[in-house]
A and B are shown apart, each in its own frame.
Chain A
Amino acid sequence: MSVESIRKSTHPNTAADQPASTGAKPLFRARWLRWLNRRLPPAQTVTLDHRKLFVLPTSAGMGLLLVIFLLWLLGTNYENNLVLALAFLLVGMLVILPVHTFANLSGLKLQLRATHPAFAGDYGQATIALSKTGKRRHERLQLAWPPEEGQLTDVLDAEPHEIRLDLPLLQRGRVQAPRIQVQSRFPLGLFRCWSWVDLDAEFLVYPQPKPAGQLPIGASVGEGNQQKTFAAGGDDFVGLKNYQPGDSLRHVAWKQYAGGRDLYSKEYASGSDARLWLDWDLLGGRDVETRLSNLCAWVLDAERAQVPYGLRLPGHTIAPDLGSAHKHKLLRLLALFPVQGVSQ
């Protein structure tokens, strides 16, 4: 499988939200992103410094500017030096505040610890470690993938502080996470210091599970595309079916029942491949993404039902097995299934 054909995409947030703060024009956005990429190249470990941080007054800061102007008017009209002095004191505060706001973020080290795979349509989670590089504490940090809420945290101690950030994922494949917005309004909320950090986070996104009906127990697609059916009641274990009154109690899957599941009957068939094959070809007639979604749902069902399952994809065959590692191996295959590898 060539690298190019693997589904790899950038997250839609990258395109949709970051430019919102700069302007809607695509050309401008592209240029902005290019500039950001040059200035803040993607890296798994980023230490914020003066080249990576931006400071601007918030609306409250502009409000204080207005108050200062009004105070100046008041002081001038009443020829009142104390009012003027107060206005000048507030000006002084506006002068020194950006430095404090900047200092609060400067020296913060962000390190991508891990990204956890997720299903499309769900939230992917990234674990990020925040730590100090100096003695200065970092307070009221807001980390987010806008427009998500993100996390509010403080980094006060020497040891790294781990946070988890959620990112909604829509498409399967490898998804490159957008830049993380790190911001703080400390200490007075009058200035905002922020940075767009690209921690080079990549999510593995499994297809969104879409139910495809009962597990295809005993079903198989032969060479000639003709379906083999198995006679029930043989010796080979085929799979589980929902218990129905009248089924032999000897065939009840007690082990699963004891595990807190519903009552199942073990089904036995004879003279055939008794293992469960989740086969791409069983789902003929649907488009690629739907097939993958259905297969994904089957994988989850089979794992839940504790029926050893295998996967047949064009170009891949994984022997039936059980367990978390097996499941993730299969899901990974589904996630990375090439978009245009197979004609319908």
Chain B
Amino acid sequence: MSAATSQLQSLLPRESLLWIFAAQLVVLLPHTMHLPIWLLGAWAVAVYWRLEVFRGRRETPGRLAKLVAVSLVVAGLVLTYRRWFALEPMVALLAVSFTLKNIELVSRRDALLSLMLAYFLAATLFVFEQTIPYALYGIVCVVIITAALVAQQGRGSARPGRALGLSTKLLAQSVPVMLVLFVVIPRLGPLWAVPQNTKAASTGISDSMSPGDFSELSKSDKPALRISFDGALPPPEQRYWRGLVYTHFDGRRWSEPGAADGYPRWGRGRSNRRPFGDTSGDDRALPAVGPRYRYQIIQEASHNPWLFALARPNSETRGVRETGDDTLVYRTPVGTRLAYDVRSWPRESVGEGEVLSGSEQRRHLQLPASGNPRARAWAKARFEEGMDGEAISGALLSLYNRNFTYTLKPPALGADTVDEFLFTTRQGFCEHFASSYVFTMRAAGVPARVVAGYQGGEWVDQQGYLLVRQYDAHAWAEIWLPGRGWVRVDPTASVAPERIRDGLQSAAAEEFMQDAFLPLHKIAFVTRLRLQWDMINYRWYQTVVSFDNERQEGILRRLLGEISPLRMALFMGVPMVAALLLLLLWLKLSGRGPSLPVASRLYLRFCRRMARAGLPRNPGEAPGDYARRIERELPRLGPMAVRITRAYEKAAYGSDMLAEKQLRRLVRGFWPLRHTRQAQAQT
């Protein structure tokens, strides 16, 4: 039947087309951030073409032209993307499909298909970003797409105000259902491995450290981590958020060979076990001593797999595992904000009795074959003096303490970076200190490694979380001491203790954020505003983005007391039924005709009562005639009927307030059935 509806009716009018194009543009625009920009161009060409066809200036493209267009766009995609199993090419393919569909956007069917695709494409936006602005933009997208659907209904519906208004109304009414479903529908977790966002540049700490990396990071005040604690809070000097361990040094650059490629590969699957390298084996028994700190970390997208935690971490969050280097990694690069729960044990609880294996020893003593002779000589001399690891470390730290300056703008270093830093320039940033320290300790025969991560953080009191920004990025060292295991040493602390205590901002106040376009951090008001915004973000992330099974259970438990099928059914059912009842009520109210004047309603009540007494008013019978008929057929009620009718006529046509009052009084006291029954009883 619907197939038979006329061709004329199913052809798209101008308004329909324009609305579809508007919806597409709104959806496509933000995608240009991760998709090739030529897609937007291709879209514009397709739209132009379609509009020309509409104006009758051009023919609908033939088979050949369509083929050429498809091959051009596909070729463009092939050239842009080498890998197909990734997020961007798939989204690009979606965008391309609706771009090309525009050329043959002919029938209502095509229009609806195009708009359904637009809904989907709007949703893919959230896979890239889950921030508040994106969420708001997503709402705008959905409103406009829905308005475009409304506009397909015809000219009257296509007026912008009408379409947008109706669309907003419909969506607003859908929100309660959405909220209930959001809270109730269980999250299953990934059903299969999905391509991740790969193209985005990784931010934050990278898999290697060469001079200048960290001072680069110090220019950014973007949030990196937000950490909330369940219980005790570590004191500022203990807030070392370990992310990466660098063990390999090539004379200039510290790195973890194969780390960047290796992590994701381990990460396949869902197991939470360690892949290798852990001395305590797969089923590492957690120490008997309880964890010292329990906390949840919300990490911004870094596009790297490594996570951040205090030493000795353990996490139950899905997809997170511990490595042999005492750090955490995620199964894929962190493409969007990620929340994970961590427990950290005190170092002492596991340090006892640990032995460094041969291969580990070699790994942590590795040095380039040559270079930095003076540092090597210094170390050798200390070693020959018979000092143990701890003493050598002490000597080196006091050296730093005496002569070195902490600065964000150190002079450039030549080939022997460690030598030049230790004995010539003596000005540096955390990476210089960590690098030279680990080098020298290794030269002295003490296993050592560089640890990169964040240090410190800003405590946000109102919301109770620690805000760690990119400029809190830090590098420090760990040395292995027999009997004590890995011990953290922060050479920077011996030069600039305020860096550890109060953060970079006070340690390098002169240089801090000097290159920023506007020195906004110096304006207290702006700083406060930014902190406020960060708090909103944090709440948003806490409540919406990282909502998972655990939180779901928590909320349901709080709302329902316990989670039983009956209560769940009630929780789902009651709002639905309530909503339905409200809708029906609305239907009833909005569907009712203009309400009758009071007098008429009273008179109708009189008529109903008369009908019950056996003398209904005939359709179209004038009140006066009716009253006369009553007088004739039921003389007992006659006088009353006449009075009521007279009062009604006065009230209705004379707008007489007094008559209305009288009518009300009369009708209230008028019970014909009772009258007749009484009369019968009397007779």
Contacts and interface: CB of A to CB of B under 8 A. Distances in A.
Interface of A: 17, 20-21, 58, 60, 63-64, 66-67, 70-71, 73-93, 95-97, 99-100, 102-103, 106-107, 133-136, 139-140, 142, 146-147, 149, 152, 154, 181, 185-190, 192
Given A80-B336, A83-B126, A189-B108, A103 B590 contact: yes
Contacts of B116: 60, 63-64, 66-67
A154 B156 contact: yes
Nearest to B188: A76
A71 B189 CA distance: 14
Given A106-B591, A135-B592, 10 more contacts: A58-B2, A76-B191, A78-B127, A82-B135, A86-B138, A88-B178, A135-B593, A154-B156, A187-B153, A188-B152
Interface string B125-163: 011001000110010001000100110111011000000
Nearest to A194: B1
B591 A107 contact: yes
9 contacts: A21-B1, A60-B116, A67-B119, A81-B547, A84-B182, A135-B591, A135-B592, A136-B591, A149-B5
Contact of A100 (B9, B130, B154, B170): B170
A192 B153 CA distance: 12
Interface in B314-350: 336
Contact of B153 (A80, A93, A136, A140): A140
Contact of A96 (B138, B177, B336): B177
A107 B589 CA distance: 12
Nearest to A60: B112
A147 B156 CA distance: 26
B381 interface: no
Contacts of A134: 590-593
The size class of the interface chain B forms with chain A is 35 or more
B181 interface: yes
A99 B546 CA distance: 34
A100 to B, nearest CB: 7
B174 A93 contact: yes
Question: Which of B1, B185, B191 has most A Cβ within 10 Å?
Answer: B1
Contact of A76 (B157, B170, B189): B189
Contacts of A85: 178, 182, 544
Contacts of A154: 156
Q: Which 10 A-B residue pairs are closest in the complex by CB-CB distance?
A: A92-B174, A92-B177, A82-B126, A134-B591, A88-B181, A88-B178, A60-B112, A89-B178, A93-B174, A77-B194
Contacts of B126: 80, 82-83, 86
A139 B150 CA distance: 12
Interface in B1-24: 1-2, 4-6, 9
Given A58-B2, A187-B170, A103 B587 contact: yes
Q: Is the interface of A mostly helix, strand, loop or mixed?
A: helix
A91 B587 contact: no
B665 interface: no
Contacts of B546: 81
B192 interface: yes
Contacts of A63: 112-113, 116
Given A83-B127, A92-B181, A139 B146 contact: no
B4 A147 contact: yes
Given A146-B4, A189-B153, A91 B181 contact: yes
A142 B146 CA distance: 22
Nearest to B117: A67
B460 interface: no
Contact of B190 (A77, A84, A87, A95): A77
A321 to B, nearest CB: 39
Interface in B57-92: none
B591 A103 contact: yes
Contacts of B547: 81
Interface string B539-574: 000001111100000000000000000000000000
A149 B170 contact: no
Given A76-B190, A103-B587, A90 B119 contact: yes
Contacts of B154: 139-140, 152
Nearest to B1: A146
A60 B192 CA distance: 29
B593 A88 contact: no
B182 A136 contact: no
Nearest to B113: A63
Nearest to A18: B1
B115 to A, nearest CB: 9
A17 B182 CA distance: 44
Nearest to B184: A88
Contacts of B181: 88, 91-92
B150 A188 contact: yes
Contacts of B583: 96, 99
B173 interface: yes
Contacts of A95: 174, 177, 576
A64 to B, nearest CB: 6
A97 B583 CA distance: 11
Given A89-B171, A190-B149, A80 B593 contact: no
A84 B552 CA distance: 14
Interface in B174-213: 174-178, 181-182, 185, 187-192, 194
B173 A96 contact: yes
B142 A187 contact: no
Contacts of A75: 123
A181 B4 CA distance: 13
A76 to B, nearest CB: 5
B48 interface: no
A340 B42 CA distance: 72
B417 interface: no
B123 A83 contact: yes
Contacts of B109: 60
Nearest to B336: A80
A142 B134 CA distance: 40
B594 interface: yes
B120 interface: yes
